[in-house]
Amino acid sequence: MTRIEAALQALPIPFRHYAWSGLPTAPYGVWGEDGESALHAEGRHAETVDSCYVDLFTRDDTGRDRDLVEAALAGAGIAWALSGTQYEQPTGLLHYTWDAEVPREAASG
């Protein structure tokens, strides 16, 4: 399990990787990888991070669900930024989107 997956699975809000089959009851979320970045130091590759997104769909307009996600990401040592908030008229849900960078874990072996 990746660091971001572990952080999100510990929440009382269900999250899935990339997509849900069927429409779950809010609150719910999805996350996925959408690229990578490499850090070089002294001419050598030092670290790779996976660029990820986290989307939360909720009816909670108090910010409680948003705060739970942000605390979980921060607590797992994941760099994140809230990149968007929108109200989705057809479903009546608030949709939060975060961009996150997760250090890639070394392969064991």
Assigned CATH for 3-103: 3.30.2000.30
Q: Say what the pLDDT of residue 9 is.
A: 97
64: closest CA among 26, 92, 19?
Answer: 26
**How far apart, in whole angstroms, are the C-alpha atoms of residue 83 and residue 86?**
10
- Give the tokens for residue 102: 């997760």
Average pLDDT value for residue range 5-34: 95
Report whether pLDDT(43) > 80: yes
User: Per-domain residue ranges for the chain?
Assistant: 3-103
> Using the 8-state DSSP alphabet, how is residue 10 labeled?
T
Q: Residue 35 — pLDDT band, cuts 50, 70, 90?
A: confident
The lowest-confidence range among 8-17, 49-58, 99-108 is: 99-108
pTM: 0.86
Average pLDDT value for residue range 55-69: 97
> Using the 8-state DSSP alphabet, how is residue 105 labeled?
P
